[in-house]
């Protein structure tokens, strides 16, 4: 029997058009490099997106060709999020924090044809221009600096012909691409279809996910070059929410200032960003008047339970989400549900710091060497994913095909346990797990416990080779005041962990290395402390 439904393509076009039609006056607020706030509306956005799409077509952009961006979070970046795909092209957001050489490699690998770059990022761009593939470079001008070598983005918009029709899009057309942040190896490219972006947005907006609404004022703090800012700009547009884009100012005070001024109700960022914001709130609790019921989505790495508790004390709800570039990125969100039954406060916090359950249409299975793991909250296995917004390959890297199982599931490389209700708890990334005397130790669990101790700002637990036990954990810690003593920390951890799981050493350092997306760069720490327990190490703490 043939169904009687229309053949309607799930593309970004109707998402944008609806915002322009139904929410023309809703604002998009951008923090500019001079710290002023620039305001435009969805009506403006739609006009400029259409203009950009026509200008790109007139400039010769062909279907599927890449337009790179090197920009902070602001309304022009949002324009390219829609304008490039509506022209039939693919927006490729370059990670401005990567070293120049890596940026050049990525832009060449992606085959980027044009680039749109923030004027304030020209110095970063100039470091890899000689190796970059771009045919034309358009500068989003915010200052008065001369840039004779490149074109003005606004001038590009002026070249848009009135009579240029936008292409008919298919939902399986490529719309965007990102590279992984390279925490465990070289960055790998993932190409998103219109359909993947649309369905991901629908799943995120749902009430039991992040409950996006047109009543919200949404602030993606996570950069728009990091996995599509976790889809936030698309979801906010889809529901007609106000958008607040922080530009280059990601320090705690600037973010809280924006939250207060623009009455932000939903924001997203990595734990390091929210740790700084929480510290500022703890320091000046009466100074900030944020919107009641503010929710902060957190992901990229696991937030400590203590951070969730501290935000609750400020009446701000931290919502934990997990995902990866390969899954557009969000795969699971942690929300408590009534069917969990009575729980103590401690049990609730413990559950809220897990990665939660897969969102609708995301399928997850957890596989150990002996097959699917039982839902007992103890047995570890790798979580594997399947779903309409999960990548089925990397862009032009056929040699990495074994990232997928023969039956088509993505091997995430994340080791998890599953509790009796199906909540996933990430124990570690495969490469970060510590194997001591044949037993696994979770570096993440130790880190999250250590940062819950007074005077600890940040902690990384890594495996170092050990002559007898193969590997042992050591903790590398950034301390504040009062600086904790190793014996005290050890006693504190001994209440929660078995003796053999406790770190063999507590090393205090000024700072820890991070990746371009704010994650702990454990590979650098492992290199640095490789010989620590073999006695060949000498470092002044």
Q: Please, what is the minimum distance in Å from the beta carbon of residue 202 to ligand ADP? A: 21
> Max CA-CA distance within the chain?
75
276 or 383, CB closer to ligand ADP? 383
Site for ligand ADP in 270-309 (CB under 6 A): 299-302
Instruction: Examine residue 217 and tell whether it contacts ligand ADP (CB under 6 A).
Output: no
What is the C-alpha to C-alpha distance for residues 267 and 297, in angstroms, rounded to an integer? 6
184 is catalytic: no
Query: Would you give the binding string for ligand ADP spanning residues 335-374, x where CB under 6 A is met?
Result: --------------------x-------------------
469 is catalytic: no
Instruction: Examine residue 268 and tell whether it contacts ligand ADP (CB under 6 A).
Output: no
Site for ligand ADP in 223-262 (CB under 6 A): 227
| Listed residue (57, 58, 59, 78) closest to 69, CA to CA | 78
What is the C-alpha to C-alpha distance for residues 447 and 497, in angstroms, rounded to an integer? 12
Q: Cβ contacts of residue 343 below 8 Å, gap of 6+?
A: 336, 351
Please answer whether residues 190 and 391 qualify as being in contact, where contact means their C-beta atoms are separated by less than 8 angstroms.
yes
219, 426, 451, 520: which one binds ligand ADP (CB under 6 A): 426
Instruction: Examine residue 382 and tell whether it contacts ligand ADP (CB under 6 A).
Output: no
Distance from the first to the final alpha carbon of the chain: 73
499 is catalytic: no
75 or 516, CB closer to ligand ADP? 516
DSSP per position, 198-257: HHHHHHHHSTTTT---TT-EEEE-S-TTSGGGGGHHHHHHHHT-EEEE-BT--SHHHHHH
| Listed residue (331, 247, 263, 324) closest to 295, CA to CA | 263
Site for ligand ADP in 470-529 (CB under 6 A): 517, 519
Q: Which helix (H) or strand (E) segment is 120 a member of?
A: none
10 or 334, CB closer to ligand ADP? 334
- Selected range binding ligand ADP among 3-11, 59-67, 182-190, 250-258, rule: CB under 6 A: 182-190
What is the C-alpha to C-alpha distance for residues 480 and 458, in angstroms, rounded to an integer? 9
27, 69, 73, 183: which one binds ligand ADP (CB under 6 A): 183
DSSP per position, 12-54: HHHHHHHHHHH-TT-EEEEE-TTS-EEEEEHHHHHHHHHHHHH
Please answer whether residues 331 and 389 qualify as being in contact, where contact means their C-beta atoms are separated by less than 8 angstroms.
no
- Selected range binding ligand ADP among 162-170, 229-237, 412-420, 467-475, rule: CB under 6 A: 412-420
Residue among 378, 435, 483, 485 flagged as catalytic:
435
Q: Please, what is the minimum distance in Å from the beta carbon of residue 145 to ligand ADP? A: 32
How many chain residues interact with ligand ADP (CB under 6 A)? 23
495 is catalytic: no
DSSP state of 457: E
Residue among 17, 184, 375, 440 flagged as catalytic:
440
Instruction: Examine residue 16 and tell whether it contacts ligand ADP (CB under 6 A).
Output: no
- The catalytic residues are 180, 326, 435, 440
Return residues touching ligand ADP (CB under 6 A). Answer: 180-184, 227, 299-302, 320, 322-325, 355, 412-414, 426, 429, 517, 519
């Amino acid at each position: 029997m043939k169904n009687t439904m229309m053949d309607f393509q799930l593309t970004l076009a109707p998402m944008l058009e609806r915002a322009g039609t139904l929410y023309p006056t809703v604002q998009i607020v951008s923090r500019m490099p001079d710290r002023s706030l620039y305001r435009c509306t969805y009506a403006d956005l739609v006009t400029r997106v259409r203009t950009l799409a026509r200008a790109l077509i007139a400039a010769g952009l062909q279907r599927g060709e890449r337009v790179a961006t090197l920009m902070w979070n602001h309304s022009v970046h949002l324009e390219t999020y829609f304008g490039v795909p509506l022209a039939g092209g693919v927006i490729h957001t370059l990670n401005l924090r990567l070293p120049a050489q890596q940026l050049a490699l990525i832009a060449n690998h992606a085959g980027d044809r044009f680039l749109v770059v923030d004027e304030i990022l020209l110095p970063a761009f100039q470091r890899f221009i000689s190796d970059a593939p771009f045919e034309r470079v358009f500068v989003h001008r915010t200052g008065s600096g001369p840039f004779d070598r490149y074109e003005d983005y606004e001038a590009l918009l002026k070249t848009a012909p009135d009579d240029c029709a936008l292409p008919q899009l298919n939902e399986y057309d490529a719309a965007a691409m990102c590279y992984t942040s390279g925490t465990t190896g070289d960055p790998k490219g993932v190409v998103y279809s219109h359909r993947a972006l649309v369905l991901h947005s629908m799943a995120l907006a749902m009430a039991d996910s992040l409950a996006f609404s047109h009543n919200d004022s949404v602030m993606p703090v996570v950069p728009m070059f990091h996995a599509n800012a976790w889809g936030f700009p698309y979801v906010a547009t889809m529901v007609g929410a106000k958008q607040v884009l922080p530009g280059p100012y990601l320090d705690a005070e600037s973010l809280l200032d924006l939250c207060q001024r623009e009455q932000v109700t939903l924001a997203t960022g990595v734990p390091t960003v929210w740790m700084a914001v929480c510290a500022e709130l703890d320091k000046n609790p009466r100074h900030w008047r944020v919107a009641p019921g503010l929710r902060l989505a957190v992901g990229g790495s696991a937030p400590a339970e203590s951070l969730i508790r501290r935000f609750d004390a400020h009446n701000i709800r931290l919502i934990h989400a997990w995902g990866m570039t390969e899954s557009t990125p969000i795969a699971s969100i942690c929300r408590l549900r009534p069917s969990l039954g009575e729980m103590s406060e401690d049990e609730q916090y413990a559950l809220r710091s897990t990665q939660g359950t897969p969102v609708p249409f995301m399928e997850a299975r957890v596989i150990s060497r002996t097959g699917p793991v039982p839902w007992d909250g103890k047995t570890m296995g790798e979580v594997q994913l399947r779903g309409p917004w999960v990548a089925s390959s990397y862009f032009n890297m056929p040699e990495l095909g074994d990232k997928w199982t023969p039956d088509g599931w993505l091997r995430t490389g994340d080791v998890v346990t599953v509790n009796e209700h199906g909540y996933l708890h990430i124990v570690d990334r495969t490469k970060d797990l510590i194997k001591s005397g044949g037993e696994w130790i979770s570096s993440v669990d130790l880190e999250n416990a250590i940062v819950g101790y007074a005077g600890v700002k940040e902690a990384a637990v890594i495996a170092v080779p050990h002559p007898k036990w193969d590997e042992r954990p050591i903790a590398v810690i950034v301390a504040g005041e009062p600086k904790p003593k190793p014996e005290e920390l050890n006693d504190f951890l001994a209440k929660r962990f078995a003796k053999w799981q406790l770190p063999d050493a507590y090393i205090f350092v000024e700072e820890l290395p991070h990746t371009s997306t704010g994650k702990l760069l454990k590979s650098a720490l492992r290199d640095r402390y490789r010989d620590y327990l073999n006695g060949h190490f000498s470092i002044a703490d």
